[in-house]
Amino acid sequence: MIWGPRRAAAAAVALACAAASGALAQPAAQPAPAAAAAPAAAAPAAAAPTGSSVGSDINGVACRWEGRADVPAERGAPPPANILCGDTKRPTGTVTAQQMPIGLPDDPAVRHKALERTAAETALGRDDAQRMTCAAGQWVAAPDGTEMMIQSCALNDNEWPQIVAIAPMGALLIRAEGLPSALPAL
């Protein structure tokens, strides 16, 4: 079951607020754990290190990030991270980054399509396409001018709601995916 336009619009506003507060950039700005997580990836019993707080979900529950040792970082980008809210042991969401495509067009509609395609062609983007059904994405602009796409989705096996967001930030394209309630922390 896909969210209706009212819920998608509310989620877009929440994402815009998160981007304006800097919450979206937090996980990508912490590359140090990847260096520590790389040796841990070889040892099956070792867990990825815990990072710092990334804010809270819409219920006010504190969220944190943990580097992912199961997914390699894209070349020239910070390591992928899981977002965990509260005392949960399972990720509430994930954040990945990759280099922005070269030569993006000036036309916003064409540029947005190119960014959507770039995010979808990553390994995690392809995996998400198989496990989720998503509505068309909506591009919104945060008060600081940052543009981002937000997409409401549902897991194919149980229709549990998910949200996918992509945002160009500097030389990186950030892709976040997770529960709608975790959107401010993503």
pLDDT (tens digit, 9 = 90+) per residue, 94-139?
999 999 988 898 899 999 999 999 998 888 888 888 999 999 999 9
Task: Say what the pLDDT of residue 50 is.
Answer: 53
Determine the Cα–Cα distance for residues 114 and 148; give it in Å rounded to an integer: 13
Determine the Cα–Cα distance for residues 119 and 121; give it in Å rounded to an integer: 6
Indicate the pTM of the whole model.
0.69
Residue 88: domain span: 5-39+49-182
Task: Say what the pLDDT of residue 51 is.
Answer: 64
Name residues whose C-beta falls within 8 Å of residue 6's C-beta, 6 or more positions apart in sequence. Answer: none
- For residue 18, pLDDT over 50 is answered with no
In a domain, residue 135? The reply is: yes
- For residue 17, pLDDT over 50 is answered with no
Q: What is the total count of domains within the chain?
A: 1
In a domain, residue 148? The reply is: yes
**CATH number assigned to the domain comprising residue 174:** 3.40.1000
In a domain, residue 110? The reply is: yes
Neighbours of 55 (CB within 10 A): 20
Dmax of the chain from CA atoms? Answer: 49
In a domain, residue 165? The reply is: yes
Determine the Cα–Cα distance for residues 96 and 73; give it in Å rounded to an integer: 8
In a domain, residue 44? The reply is: no
